[in-house]
Structure 1
Amino acid sequence: MRISTSQFYETSSANYQRNFSNVVKTGQQASDNIRVRTAADDPVGAARLLQLQQQSNLIDQYDGNITNVRNSLGTSESTLNGITNILARVKELTISAGSGGYTDADRKADAQELTQLEEQLYSLMNSRDENGKYLFSGSRGDTPPYVRNADGTYTYQGDQSTLSLQVGDMLTMASNESGYSVFEQALNTSRSQTKLTSPLVDDGRVSLSNGQVSGSTQYNDRFRGGEPYTITFTSSTQFKITDAANNDVTLEATGEGKFDPSKPGGVTFRGVEMALDINLSDADKPNADALIAGHTFSLGSKPDEVSGSRSPGNTSSSQITGASISDSTAYNNAFPGGGAVIKFTSASAYEVYAQPMGPDARPVATGTLTGTPATKAKIAGVDFDFSAPPAAGDQFSVKVDNHQTQNILDTISEFRKALELPVDKDLASRQKYQGALQSAIGNLESGANKVAEAISSIGARGAALDVQADTNESLKMANTKTQSSIRDADPAEVLTRLSLQQTMLQASQLAFTKISSLSLFNRL
């Protein structure tokens, strides 16, 4: 077979370049121990390495999210611990204010300290994180969670949502606490009320306080189904309770309707505790049974209360001067349970939005003011009175209090107001104050429990983050090991292959030199 000179040179050059390329490539592997640099080196391995790198990037993102969640939860926990300390001090003042030796001056001194504690609590509940976002506004981080209304009450402006971050392939974690769940869901123990119905003029001989809910399950299951109740005193030592259907349910009360008028005591009925005081002068005692018999009280849950306040940005000075439920059926069926916003599109036309009102909110009702001048509105069974016709663009916030829950700011505010009122020389005022005292003690305990639940929830999430961080670290180590097994070269195998390829390169060089020296002229 004949081989041309050009074919010989081309073949020899190709062999030499191939061998040289293999030596360079293997030499590079020997220096950095990397086997797969491009997809051409190992298509299947390169695809697998790409998947593993994507997983590694996700794990890095999860680790960053874990750090962010930890920082946010740490800030929330510190703030809630501060709130817990304030509530503990408020509870101390509340209990001490119930001492029989306290005077009006002592109670006013406590009210002054409560004012400062209320301001501190208000500030903490409106705390921000390191990014300037409000901690307890839910997903509305730019909105202060609480505002103080003109009447001294407080309104929650955040929402019920939480901000969650992915910390694992199958795990997301809430990074904040919603003020709605921490502060707005504290059970209100003062959900029932009593009212003297006979005699028409209170003679001061029988006092029955508004009830404190001591057993929510019994209250919801038993009490609510039979209200309103009638409590009738048949003598100075007995009473009878009948439900709305006139069924005698006295046996469900403590003492089965019997009491000792000479001892301080109370009545517990279907999860509601009421303080009972019998006040008889020495002249009354011989005829105690006749004087006490016939005293009758109604007992039931407090009805919902609706109140409204103007927006600070309103152009007019119009205020909501009255809000009352006139149609219970329409109110229960249609009025927004979380409150409403009344927005005026003109001096008389208005739109009603459910709270919280988002940017995409749609009106749930529309209407026009009536009366001369036009200052009255009827919205879903609730009658509103305005002090003057509003201007176009004016907004009014409407709050619904169903007495099921009460935030701790309102609890402290209400008790502070009770402390400021003189009660030393007025028996009726003192009895009213005792009711406010019991309500404050119960609601503070309920509020502190919700804060404690939030702190426990943060602790549980912190523990879950620790577990997930360990899991992520294990996954990252396994990922790194798997990538190394695919990408990295075997040093022994690389060195052996490098030696062989160097020998082949030398052989190709020698062969080229020998063959290129052959010529017909050498034979002549």
Structure 2
Amino acid sequence: MRISTIQTFNNGNQGIQDNYAKVTRTQEQVSSGKRLLSPADDPVATVRLLQLDQEAGRLEQFKSNMSAATNSLNQEEATLNSVTNILQRVREITLQGGNGALDASDRQALAQELSEREEELFGLFNSRNARGEYLFGGFQSQTPPFVREPDGTYTYEGDQGQRSIQIAGSKQLAINDNGKDLFVDVGNVNRVVTDRTVPVADPATPFPRISLGVVEDKTAYDADFYPNAPVTVRIAPDGSSYEVFETANTANVLASGPIEPNEDNSLQVRIAGVVVTIDGELAGGEEFSIDRGNTADTGEKRSILQNIAFLRETLEDPGNSPEDKLIRRDKLAISLENIDNAMNSVLSVQTSIGARLNVIESTGNENAEVSLINTKVQAELSELDYAEALSRLSLESVVLQAAQQSYVKISGLSLFNLLR
């Protein structure tokens, strides 16, 4: 095989260039600290690094989402703590209002404080989070959820949605609670109405006073109260027991039971979760009806603001007759029960908020562990092993020097040297 002079020069030059490229690449790896300088260095590792980079971006977004969720939930929790404190004060006012020693001016002073508390609650129900979103509007986060009408009543303008945010690959977390479920749809104990009828035994005998009906056991009421209401309650001739009939068919006895004495010398009748108080002497044979309420005051639900307005109006009433006092007693008892229902509703949501904050904390710990593992894998795939790289650089430098020295010697060989 013939070897020409030009071929010798080309082979030597190519060898020097290849070895120089290797030295240069290794030197770049050492200076950058990266093993992969281009996708061609390791295509499989490059794809894996792209996947890990995407996962790191998702984890960073989840971290940002959790921060926003934590801020929103903490703001809501602080607001609900304030609501609970106000409701506790309203409860104290309700108990004070039942003090028989108070006169009209004393009750008016309590009503004035209730008016201020009502205004304070109205402001809290329209609270915003750090991003300016209304906390209790459901999905309607840009407009006030509660609006005061010209007649002094309140309207909920939000919806029943619950905004959620993603905090992990397959985990969504609610960051708010709508005001309708929380502040509007509060169970009303005064959801039945009573109506007296003429005593059967002696029409000349004064009919004892029948109080407003109160639902004391919601579960029993929902399960057992008669679907064909109204029903008629008839007192036994001796006044010690009662029977319940369908109003449309008094021959059909639905239930019966004893009449129970109360601490204030009144009597109580309990029917399917409903309690009715009777004030006065029973002659026997009296009848009264119980029906499901269907008005704003006797519906199944009564909002917190509506209940406070009801309580305020009760205390503002200047009446001081025996009948006025009994009506005030009944209304205060209803208000007290409804306030307790409202506080239980708020407490339930506060418990839920605490659970959601715990989920954020545990999920944050999980994401941090995943992020640490990803960082470790990224380092293994992309970072340079300096000991190996420096050893390789020394070897490649020696090979480059040898190639250069051999090229010098070979380039000096020529057939013309033999002619001299």
Is contact 2:136-2:178 (8 Å) kept?
A: yes
Partner of 2:41: 41
Structure 1's 241 and 261: CA in aligned 2 closer, same or farther, altered over 3 A?
farther
3-state secondary structure, aligned to 1:243: strand
- Comparing 403-412 with 59-68, greater Cα deviation is found at 403-412
**1:511 and 2:394 aligned:** no
Is contact 1:222-1:270 (8 Å) kept?
A: yes
Please report how far the alpha carbon of residue 130 of structure 1 lies from its aligned counterpart in structure 2 after TM superposition: 2.2
The residue type equivalent to 2:356 in the other structure is R
**1:462 and 2:362 aligned:** no
2:345 to 445, 450, 467: 450
**1:248 and 2:253 aligned:** yes
Partner of 1:378: none
1:176-187 residue pairs with structure 2 within 5 A? Answer: 176-187=176-187
Is contact 1:183-1:407 (8 Å) kept?
A: yes
Cα distance in 2 for partners of 1:272, 1:262 equals 19
**1:421 and 2:280 aligned:** no
1:345-360 residue pairs with structure 2 within 5 A? Answer: none
1:185-334 residue pairs with structure 2 within 5 A? Answer: 185-198=185-198, 205-225=207-227, 227-235=229-237, 237-244=239-246, 245-246=249-250, 247-251=252-256, 253=257, 256-257=258-259, 263-278=265-280, 292-304=283-295
Is contact 1:208-1:276 (8 Å) kept?
A: yes
Cα distance in 2 for partners of 1:259, 1:43 equals 88
| CA deviations over 1:46-65 (Å, ceiling 9, x no partner) | 00000010000000000000
Please report how far the alpha carbon of residue 30 of structure 1 lies from its aligned counterpart in structure 2 after TM superposition: 2.2
Cα distance in 2 for partners of 1:189, 1:168 equals 42
> Could you say which structure has the higher helix fraction?
2
The residue type equivalent to 1:15 in the other structure is G
Is contact 1:194-1:300 (8 Å) kept?
A: yes
Please report how far the alpha carbon of residue 75 of structure 1 lies from its aligned counterpart in structure 2 after TM superposition: 0.7
The residue type equivalent to 1:295 in the other structure is E
| CA deviations over 1:5-32 (Å, ceiling 9, x no partner) | 3322222222111111111111122233
Cα distance in 2 for partners of 1:204, 1:100 equals 25
Is contact 2:239-2:285 (8 Å) kept?
A: no
Structure 1's 134 and 106: CA in aligned 2 closer, same or farther, altered over 3 A?
same
Residue ranges of structure 2 left out of the alignment (5+ in a row): none
**1:11 and 2:11 aligned:** yes
2:330 to 435, 443, 455: 435
Is contact 1:241-1:248 (8 Å) kept?
A: yes
Please report how far the alpha carbon of residue 187 of structure 1 lies from its aligned counterpart in structure 2 after TM superposition: 1.1
Cα distance in 1 for partners of 2:402, 2:204 equals 123
3-state secondary structure, aligned to 2:225: helix
Cα distance in 2 for partners of 1:202, 1:150 equals 47
Please report how far the alpha carbon of residue 131 of structure 1 lies from its aligned counterpart in structure 2 after TM superposition: 2.3
Cα distance in 1 for partners of 2:204, 2:320 equals 19
Cα distance in 1 for partners of 2:406, 2:390 equals 24
Cα distance in 2 for partners of 1:260, 1:169 equals 59
Cα distance in 2 for partners of 1:222, 1:88 equals 32
Cα distance in 1 for partners of 2:209, 2:415 equals 138
Cα distance in 2 for partners of 1:41, 1:155 equals 67
Is contact 2:165-2:174 (8 Å) kept?
A: yes
Structure 1's 402 and 507: CA in aligned 2 closer, same or farther, altered over 3 A?
farther
| CA deviations over 1:193-224 (Å, ceiling 9, x no partner) | 10113269998641111221111111011114
1:406 to 302, 316, 331: 302
The residue type equivalent to 2:218 in the other structure is S
Cα distance in 1 for partners of 2:233, 2:306 equals 30
Please report how far the alpha carbon of residue 259 of structure 1 lies from its aligned counterpart in structure 2 after TM superposition: 5.2
Cα distance in 2 for partners of 1:520, 1:227 equals 127
The residue type equivalent to 1:467 in the other structure is S
Between 1 and 2, higher relative CO (CA 8 Å, sep ≥ 6) is seen in: 2
Cα distance in 1 for partners of 2:285, 2:373 equals 83
Please report how far the alpha carbon of residue 236 of structure 1 lies from its aligned counterpart in structure 2 after TM superposition: 6.4
- Comparing 25-34 with 215-224, greater Cα deviation is found at 25-34
Please report how far the alpha carbon of residue 232 of structure 1 lies from its aligned counterpart in structure 2 after TM superposition: 2.2
Cα distance in 1 for partners of 2:262, 2:332 equals 24
3-state secondary structure, aligned to 1:160: coil
Structure 1's 103 and 402: CA in aligned 2 closer, same or farther, altered over 3 A?
closer
**1:502 and 2:397 aligned:** yes
Residue identity over aligned pairs, in percent, reads: 35
Structure 1's 258 and 16: CA in aligned 2 closer, same or farther, altered over 3 A?
closer
Is contact 1:168-1:468 (8 Å) kept?
A: yes
3-state secondary structure, aligned to 2:234: strand
Structure number with larger C-alpha Rg: 2
Tell me the TM-score normalised to structure 1 length.
0.75
| CA deviations over 1:153-174 (Å, ceiling 9, x no partner) | 2211111111111101121111
3-state secondary structure, aligned to 1:225: coil
3-state secondary structure, aligned to 1:268: strand
The residue type equivalent to 1:263 in the other structure is N
Is contact 1:237-1:259 (8 Å) kept?
A: no
Partner of 2:379: 484
Cα distance in 1 for partners of 2:37, 2:351 equals 50
| CA deviations over 1:372-399 (Å, ceiling 9, x no partner) | xxxxxxxxxxxxxxxxxxxxxxxxxxxx
Tell me the TM-score normalised to structure 2 length.
0.93
**1:91 and 2:91 aligned:** yes
3-state secondary structure, aligned to 2:52: helix
